[in-house]
Structure 1
Amino acid sequence: MSGTSPPLAPEVTDVPSGPPRRRPWGRLVAVGLIVLVLAAIGLRGRLPAPHEILGALGGAKYGWIALAALLQFASIESFALQQRRLLNSLGAHLTRGHVMAITLAGTALSISMPAGPAVSTAFTIREYQRGGATREASAASAIVSGLASIGGLALLYVGGGLALLAGSPDGLLNWRPLAVVVALAALTTAAILAGRRLASRPARDAARPAGNRVARTLQGLLRSGRDAWRAGAELRIADWVFALVYATVKWLTDLLCMVAVAEALHLPVGVTAMAGIYLSVQIVRQVPLTPGGVGVVETALAAGLTAAGATGVGAAAAVLVYRVLSCWILIPIGGIAAVTLRRTRDQKS
């Protein structure tokens, strides 16, 4: 790993003491209000009357809802454990609580802001550096995590496709997303193999013509990206396997969370149909039309559940409970985690 490449993210330096910063509660409240407004706009006219939804929630099995909440926590915990495993393998040793706080704060940014995934990735890399990881290890962890996430989702698609094939051979003909994800999995595998081949080559740090400022910046970014990719490619096969397993568990527990919510609200939708709805919506979810897919994901889930046999009221209630557990409640929790990270950093400085 080259030690002369420019930093991928700004280095952490001591900041001179000055007037205390304002606490970010105002911004957190503003973000929460914006998300609620977007949800209201996106769902306007598409939900049953509030008293009908409250009636459906009143007859819910709350033991199943509690199980759904635990499954959602397990999904987030799986991602945090994946990150800690990768960082440890790359030479950074962050505590479990520290990584979980970064994960929660990064998730809140991802689902609450325009271009959320990019903002979340930049925040996560910076926080890993502040925790003691090198810039290459921080970026490599993000790269490997993204590849593993695609692989984990692909495994669920393949499993769902095989289940459909076993139940009804004709059903696989309508499983169009499977082909898309298989192609993505193939591209991911090719990228991993290419990265490992790159890692086996010696680094070239020979001086190059300086060029103008833009050219130097682009060259620096390319070298930093190369070093990060080289660091990730040098991971052991076991590290990649564990990253893939954690990613698969993350997706699977999120799916089971939705299944538990459907069971709590007595929806007449089988697990196979529920998995098909969930996996289809994941493709819609990747198009960043709104922060966190607010309005888009809810509409797609409600339409899928209704088409599978659920009533409009039951589908709406299930979608609201699932989205509260998997998205909306994570915004204030992530905000609290971000404040905790800042306070801990201020106390150490």
Structure 2
Amino acid sequence: MSGDGTTELPVTGPRGWSRWQLLVRAAVVLAVAVLVVVSRHRIAEWWDGLVGVAWGWVALAAVVQLVSMQCLVQQLRVLLRAGGGAVPWPAATSTLYAGNAISAGLPFAGAAASTAYTYRRLHALGNGAALVGWALAVSGIASTATLALVLAFGSAMTGSVAGAFGAFVATAAGVLPVLGIVLAFRHARTRAALVRVFSRGARLLGRWVPALRDGPVEERVEGFLTSLGSFRLSVPAAAGTGLYALANWVLDAACLALALQAVGAPVPWQGLVLVWAAGTLVSSARLTPGGIGVVEAALVAALVASGLPASQAVPAVLVYRLASLWLLVSIGAVFLVLGSGAGRRTAEEPLSP
């Protein structure tokens, strides 16, 4: 039991955590290095394409991206505070930047590795295992729901009612199952059924994970799920969570508009959101590290389809990716190398809410 009466699943000790952190850092640094070497010719071409851009607009696009990331940082802090936890602003910032670098640097498994890193890091900062899991789940729900709102708005701007409706349907398909599971934790009978399912799974995993073989697995799983279902969002916290998620997407789309301004191209305001969505949705497939190649192709194709010549579309996309990918990944890589830096505390040093 933790100090607030919630049951926590065991986590790796400081030594195991340090080894895991070191492994993740080494893997990401190696992935970024390989990425740079493999893409060196393309990077050189990109740099040639940036000759003549208005660097003042590029700097503004970079600032907008940094503010966009801070929206996610503040959202995470709001969710942890809602559950009685806390995380210092420097530690939350370094954790999310490092997690973003992991997600972008590793193809296919990047999202899972990033979530695992963020989970372990926030738990090591003194937050309960159930609280961290709940906060990350709610953050994901808010992100998916607000993305659909942005897409619906973009479709409505082009006069496509069907597109707006499709965005809401896609949101329901992605959000409702996760939301249903979170709500099911509060229902005693449903929770009991989930406990049985998860306990069987834990016993199977226990053959390879020693921590799952220690003590009564079913009691620990039930305690964890009960704790997970005990968290509630107040109206102000829910509003803040949604607004921060929405601001993150809107600012990212604004970064694309600023990139177009940087190369002197007209901004296709009516179709801008759908152009931006083409890159965002392709990026979520994680076919390549950071979506390199596929995201650029999707964005250029969408801009050309909206009426821009390729001579303007290509450098605009390069500026956008410089701010939205390379800048953020570089900062995250620095945090990883430095040990996820400022504000660091261990689980033995509890935080005051």
TM-score tier, shorter chain, comes to: 0.7 to 0.9
CA distance in 2, matches of 1:127, 1:25: 13
Aligned to 2:167: 181
2:60–2:258 CA contact under 8 A, matched in 1: yes
SS at match of 1:268: coil
Out of 199, 204, 208, which is 1:214 matched to?
Answer: 204
SS at match of 1:92: coil
2:75–2:241 CA contact under 8 A, matched in 1: yes
Shift of 1:67: 1.4
1:246 has 2:236 as partner: no
Aligned to 1:324: 322
Aligned to 1:192: 179
Aligned to 2:142: 148
- State the Cα RMSD in Å: 3.9
- The total of aligned residue pairs comes to 329
Structure 1 342/288 Cα, relative in aligned 2: closer, same or farther at 3 Å? closer
Aligned to 1:33: 33
Aligned to 2:333: 335
CA distance in 2, matches of 1:164, 1:68: 25
Aligned to 2:209: none
Quick one: which amino acid aligns to residue 213 of structure 1?
Answer: R
1:108 has 2:101 as partner: yes
Structure 1 247/25 Cα, relative in aligned 2: closer, same or farther at 3 Å? closer
1:154–1:185 CA contact under 8 A, matched in 2: yes
Out of 96, 99, 108, which is 2:92 matched to?
Answer: 99
SS at match of 1:156: helix
Per-residue deviation, residues 30-50 of structure 1 (Å, max 9, x unmatched): 222222356569x6xxx9x94
CA distance in 1, matches of 2:293, 2:38: 7
Quick one: which amino acid aligns to residue 199 of structure 1?
Answer: R
- TM-score, scaled to structure 1: 0.79
Aligned to 1:134: 128
CA distance in 1, matches of 2:157, 2:221: 43
CA distance in 2, matches of 1:22, 1:126: 13
Structure 1, gaps ≥5 residues long: 166-170
Shift of 1:198: 3.9
SS at match of 2:86: coil
- TM-score, scaled to structure 2: 0.78
Matches within 5 A, 1:289-328: 289-328=287-326
1:270 has 2:268 as partner: yes
1:262–1:269 CA contact under 8 A, matched in 2: yes
Per-residue deviation, residues 168-222 of structure 1 (Å, max 9, x unmatched): xxx445x3xx4443123224256536634642648759x9798793177697696
Shift of 1:27: 5.2
Name which of structure 1's ranges 296-305 and 186-195 shifts more when overlaid on structure 2. Answer: 186-195
Aligned to 1:168: none
Aligned to 1:163: 157
Quick one: which amino acid aligns to residue 64 of structure 1?
Answer: W
1:60 has 2:46 as partner: no
CA distance in 2, matches of 1:70, 1:11: 37
CA distance in 1, matches of 2:254, 2:133: 30
Per-residue deviation, residues 40-61 of structure 1 (Å, max 9, x unmatched): 69x6xxx9x949x63x634322
Name which of structure 1's ranges 325-334 and 180-189 shifts more when overlaid on structure 2. Answer: 180-189
Shift of 1:320: 1.5
CA distance in 2, matches of 1:30, 1:284: 24
CA distance in 1, matches of 2:340, 2:66: 23
Aligned to 1:279: 277
